[in-house]
Amino acid sequence: MAGIEAERGAILEETAQQVRACTRCRLHEGRVHAVPGEGPLDADVFLIGEAPGRDEDASGRPFVGAAGKILDKALSAARMPRDSVFVTNVVKCRPPGNRGPRTDELESCRPYLATQIAVVRPKVLVTLGSTALKGLLGKGSELKDVRGRAAVFEGIPVIPTYHPAAILYNRRLEASLRADLRKAARMARSKRLRIRSGPLRETKPTRPATSSGAVIVGPEGRILLLKRADEEIWCLPKGTVEPGETLEETAIREVQEETGLRVKLLRPLHEVRYSFYWPPAGVNYDKTVTYFLAEPIGGRLAPEPGFDEARWVTRPEALRLLHWKNDMDVIARAFEAIRS
Ligand code: SF4
């Protein structure tokens, strides 16, 4: 096994060396540094941008300029440290005057990207911007048509999203970028890693975390539970509050992202607080979650990747399925509210 790992690492490094010496297309003429990309050999998430910019060309590293700062913040919001993901571009040398890469340049450079993907074998690919999407999937792949749909490259799911540089001109796209990266994180976790949160570890730092979620009341007074794929436990839809969001906005957004349903919040229900150690982040979380009672007003029930199943359940079924005592307290209040 170690031999195979060493061989994969050697192929990745050899590819980087070939990129640094490459003269396959005209872009080598104006570059200061080629930018092969970087990240761990066993990265679950593989990000693909368009091409190096001025800062990247100067440093030889991907996403180190203003767009890189936006990307780092979005990754952090998705609980994916930058050093846990592989980051590269479809074209490895800077086009002059920051123009977009031309078709022949994309074609010349594509074999390097294909080798990197084959060696890293990530669980999910994320394309940042239209050029990255076309560079990966070929001509005719438009971001507006493909975003939010299932796309696949060599058997690996692809999440097309916006380039962080686009957010410099349109801040409203930032929420979409973050939502897509959260989805990538969930998909990467969904592959039966069986991660378990654990008791607090004194030697690890503690971070506060604020989430918001909902108990959704559906047909015949049943409520909706989700089964998490990573921990294999039943829970209520909820998620982290983004900067600038209210608790209500987070609950509505998270429900839609996780279940596919649009909901109306009926009333606040309960606030729970608990602490745990989360191995993927290497930190303890001191978490507060606010729950609302909600009813569906549209959408279609379709749990997002990261959840194995969504099920409308009665109170006895909910008490039997739910894993955490906190969740049982929340649904007890929900059923009292439904009765009254
Ligand atoms: S952009 Fe790609 S193909 Fe063109 S010179 Fe750079 S590494 Fe080679």
How many Cα atoms occupy the beta-carbon half-sphere of 266 within 13 Å? 14
Residue 193: predicted pLDDT: 47
Residue 4: predicted pLDDT: 53
Residue 75 DSSP class: H
3-state helix, strand, coil in the chain (%, to 5): 40, 25, 30
Please determine, for residue 167, whether its predicted confidence score (pLDDT) is greater than 70. Answer: yes
Residue 36: predicted pLDDT: 97
Please determine, for residue 239, whether its predicted confidence score (pLDDT) is greater than 60. Answer: yes
Pocket probe mutation, ligand 1, options 23, 28, 56, 103, max atoms within 8 Å of Cβ = 28
Please determine, for residue 1, whether its predicted confidence score (pLDDT) is greater than 50. Answer: no
Among the ranges 107-121, 180-194, 251-265, which has the highest mean pLDDT value? Answer: 251-265
Regarding predicted confidence, which is higher, 339 or 211? 211
Please determine, for residue 334, whether its predicted confidence score (pLDDT) is greater than 70. Answer: yes
User: Do 174 and 233 reside in the same domain of the chain?
Assistant: no
Please determine, for residue 192, whether its predicted confidence score (pLDDT) is greater than 70. Answer: no
Please determine, for residue 191, whether its predicted confidence score (pLDDT) is greater than 60. Answer: no
Please compute the mean of the pLDDT values over residues 293-304 and round it to a whole number: 92
Given a contact cutoff of 8 angstroms between Cβ atoms, the answer to whether 270 and 291 are in contact is yes
User: Do 333 and 219 reside in the same domain of the chain?
Assistant: yes
- Rounded distance from Cα 93 to ligand 1 centre (Å): 6
Ligand 1 contact, 24 CB (< 6 A): yes
CATH number of the domain enclosing 49: 3.40.470.10
Residue 203: predicted pLDDT: 83
Please determine, for residue 3, whether its predicted confidence score (pLDDT) is greater than 50. Answer: no
How many domains, in total, are found in the chain?
2
Domain stops at, among 159, 189, 219: 189
- Rounded distance from Cα 21 to ligand 1 centre (Å): 9
User: Do 178 and 262 reside in the same domain of the chain?
Assistant: no
Given a contact cutoff of 8 angstroms between Cβ atoms, the answer to whether 163 and 147 are in contact is no
Residue 140: predicted pLDDT: 66
User: Do 177 and 212 reside in the same domain of the chain?
Assistant: no
Please compute the mean of the pLDDT values over residues 2-28 and round it to a whole number: 85
Ligand 1 contact, 15 CB (< 6 A): no
Please compute the mean of the pLDDT values over residues 272-296 and round it to a whole number: 86
User: Do 161 and 219 reside in the same domain of the chain?
Assistant: no
Please compute the mean of the pLDDT values over residues 75-81 and round it to a whole number: 89
Report yes or no on 199 lying in a domain: no
- Rounded distance from Cα 147 to ligand 1 centre (Å): 27
Q: Where does the pLDDT of residue 13 fall: very low under 50, low under 70, confident under 90, or very high at 90 and above?
A: very high
Please determine, for residue 2, whether its predicted confidence score (pLDDT) is greater than 50. Answer: no
- Rounded distance from Cα 51 to ligand 1 centre (Å): 10
User: Do 236 and 303 reside in the same domain of the chain?
Assistant: yes
Please compute the mean of the pLDDT values over residues 134-149 and round it to a whole number: 74
Ligand 1 atom nearest 18 alpha carbon: 7
Residue 156: predicted pLDDT: 83
User: Do 185 and 211 reside in the same domain of the chain?
Assistant: no
- Rounded distance from Cα 112 to ligand 1 centre (Å): 9
User: Do 48 and 80 reside in the same domain of the chain?
Assistant: yes
Please determine, for residue 332, whether its predicted confidence score (pLDDT) is greater than 70. Answer: yes
Ligand 1 contact, 34 CB (< 6 A): yes
Please determine, for residue 298, whether its predicted confidence score (pLDDT) is greater than 70. Answer: yes
Ligand 1 contact, 106 CB (< 6 A): no
User: Do 116 and 219 reside in the same domain of the chain?
Assistant: no
Please compute the mean of the pLDDT values over residues 1-23 and round it to a whole number: 81
Pocket probe mutation, ligand 1, options 26, 35, 92, 113, max atoms within 8 Å of Cβ = 92
Lowest mean pLDDT among 62-76, 78-92, 119-133, 304-318: 304-318
User: Do 146 and 222 reside in the same domain of the chain?
Assistant: no
CATH number of the domain enclosing 312: 3.90.79.10
Given a contact cutoff of 8 angstroms between Cβ atoms, the answer to whether 230 and 189 are in contact is yes
Share of the chain above pLDDT 90, in %: 54
Two tokens, residue 200 = 């607090």
Residue 150: predicted pLDDT: 62
Residue 38 DSSP class: B
User: Do 173 and 212 reside in the same domain of the chain?
Assistant: no
Q: Domain range holding 176?
A: 2-189
**Mean per-residue pLDDT of the chain:** 88
User: Considering only CA atoms, which of 265, 249, 266 is closest in space to residue 257?
Assistant: 249
Share of the chain above pLDDT 70, in %: 91
